Structure formats: structure tokens, C-alpha cells
Amino acid sequence: MIRSLAVALGLALALPAGAETPASSLFGGMEAPTGGAAQAIGFYSRGCATGLVPLPETGPTWQAMRLSRNRNWGQPQMVAFLQQLSVAATKMGWAGLYIGDIAQPRGGPAPSGHASHQTGLDADIWLRMPETLRLSPAAREDLPFISVLRDRRTVNAYWTPRHRALVQSAAMDPRVDRIFLNAAIKAEMCRTATPADTAWLQKIRPAPGHDEHMHIRLRCPAGSRTCTPQTPSVAELSQGGSGCDASLAAWLEDRPSAEPSAPARTHPRAFALSDLPAQCSAVLRAR
């Protein structure tokens, strides 16, 4: 708590009069979670959280990566899900899982990296298959990612049936709302899909990047009344579609880096505390 207050004070002195300290600096300075019940507050990319619990840095079937970021905190449901998925992975030929960012101790915007991961319901799982689960903390900072892409439309030889099995296992879990992966990866899964795969494939959503990890997003937990759910793709859900259609093909085409007429969006790293749900102010003050 001392560190967080010092960070906030230092930034406040450096900012112009009337400017607010970025919420990412306030939440990034929090070293420990709140006590009390676990609650996801707000939306995945505009929120915070109470009662988060840590994914242990090392377990029998996982290792948390990039420990210096202090982002191995999640809702209890997320931590349980990751531990269970890592056990399932060992039955698919994986030695275990390397797990990246979940959330900061109190969620909220982060000073670097993700726009989401703010409520403890998002988690990154590396697509690099572990060679060992005995990496030192220093090694976890430097170990490189491995991309599974050959080019923007196709996967390379690193993508295996074991990767597909892991993604499918995660997507079939009823706790999972959606999984973000590069469009070329979804295209490969669509290429080998059967009619029975429709329901879980619908959860795989194309996203830029995401060729070195999959981003798993859980549904709002029961009892989190302040959690804002993800809006489903109504057209796909009503038609029972898999998303292996023209909408996916569009992702595989060359795209301009930005739409000239699109309005500029404020990145969550630039959010002020007033941009977040009102409860997030109390989350910062809580002990």
C-alpha cells in the first residue's frame, strides 16, 4: 500500500493542475488484493476486482510466467479453471502449461500491455509447449514466446493436434465465454472441423496477434452483480453458427491499419479513475 500511495503522489505532483492520475498507475501500484468476497466489478476492459486470489507461481502442472509483472491474480473461478485445464493438458501430451497474465492484485487498468484483464476473468495461456516446469523466476522473464503462424493466413509446423485439443477442451468448458486467437488459427481449426464442433468453435474469436498465446475469458461468475457480461454474437448464437464463414475470411484479408473515419478511442492505460465504475475508488482504499 505504501508503494501505491508513493506512486500516486509522485505522479500527481508531475501532472498539470487539474489532471487526474492515470488509473493504470494507481492499480499498477497495488501489491496486494483486497480482503473480503471476490467480486468482478465492471467490464473486462473497464473495471476492477475485490478478493482476487493468486495462482501459485509453480504447481505440478503449470508455471506462472513474467512474475515481475505481478499479474498472476484472478477470480477464484479463474484460478480453479487454470489449474484444472493444466491437469487436462497433461492428458493431451503437454508437460503442463505456461500461464501468462491474469490480472493485477486489484484488477484495473495496467501500466503496460493489455487493455482487458481488469476483473480477474481473463487469462493468457502460452502456446509454447513447456520443456520443463522447473524454470527459475529469472528464466521466466526471458523465455521467448513461440508463434504458431507461417503467415497471416496459415499456421506453421509448431501447431499440432495437441494444441487443437487444448483449445477445444478450454472452449467446451461452460465457464468459458470466449477465447481470442489469431484468425489463421481459427481458420485451421475450421478446416479440420466436423459438424459436432460447431458449438465450441463459435467461442473461438479472431483477434490481432494472439499467435503465441490464447486469451481465455470466463463468464461473469454467479453472484457478481457488479460484473458486466460480454455481449454475445447474437446472429451467430441464434443460427448455431461456428464462425467459419465470410466473417472469418474477412479477418484473413489484408486490412488497413486503421479506419480513417473511425473515432479515436481512449486506451485503458489512459483511463482516469473517474472512467471506471464508482466502486473502483473504494477498491483502491480497501485493506
What Cα–Cα distance (Å) separates residue 248 from each residue in 20, 215, 258? 40, 18, 18
Q: What is the pTM of this model?
A: 0.88
Query: Is residue 263, in this structure, part of any structural domain at all?
Result: no
Whether residue 100 contacts residue 65, with contact meaning beta carbons closer than 8 Å, is answered with: yes
Q: Is 45 left (phi over 0), alpha (psi -120 to 50) or beta?
A: alpha
Its domain, for residue 30, covers 2-253+274-285
Query: Is residue 268, in this structure, part of any structural domain at all?
Result: no
Query: Is residue 266, in this structure, part of any structural domain at all?
Result: no
CB neighbours of 214 closer than 8 A, spacing ≥ 6?
124, 125, 127, 167, 170, 179, 180, 181
Query: Is residue 221, in this structure, part of any structural domain at all?
Result: yes
Whether residue 101 contacts residue 40, with contact meaning beta carbons closer than 8 Å, is answered with: no
Q: Which of 6-10, 34-38, 207-211 has the lowest mean pLDDT?
A: 6-10
pLDDT for 233: 55
Query: Is residue 55, in this structure, part of any structural domain at all?
Result: yes
pLDDT for 269: 86
Query: Is residue 94, in this structure, part of any structural domain at all?
Result: yes
How confident is the model over 240-285, as pLDDT tens digits? 678 888 788 888 886 655 555 556 677 888 899 999 999 999 999 9
Q: How many domains does the chain have?
A: 1
Query: Is residue 259, in this structure, part of any structural domain at all?
Result: no
DSSP string computed for 184-207: HHHHHHHHT--GGGHHHHTTEEE-
78 three-state secondary structure:
helix
How confident is the model over 54-102, as pLDDT tens digits? 999 999 999 999 999 999 999 999 999 999 999 999 999 999 999 999 9
Cell of 218: 470466463
Query: Is residue 264, in this structure, part of any structural domain at all?
Result: no
Cell of 267: 486506451
Q: What is the CATH number of the domain that holds 68?
A: 3.30.1380.10
How confident is the model over 155-203, as pLDDT tens digits? 999 999 999 999 999 999 999 999 999 999 999 999 988 888 888 999 9
Residues 193-196: contacts with CB under 8 Å, at least 24 apart: 193/242, 193/244
Using CA atoms, how far apart are residues 64 and 98, in angstroms rounded to an integer?
6
pLDDT for 262: 54
Cell of 175: 465457464
Q: 176 pairs with which residues across the strands?
A: 218
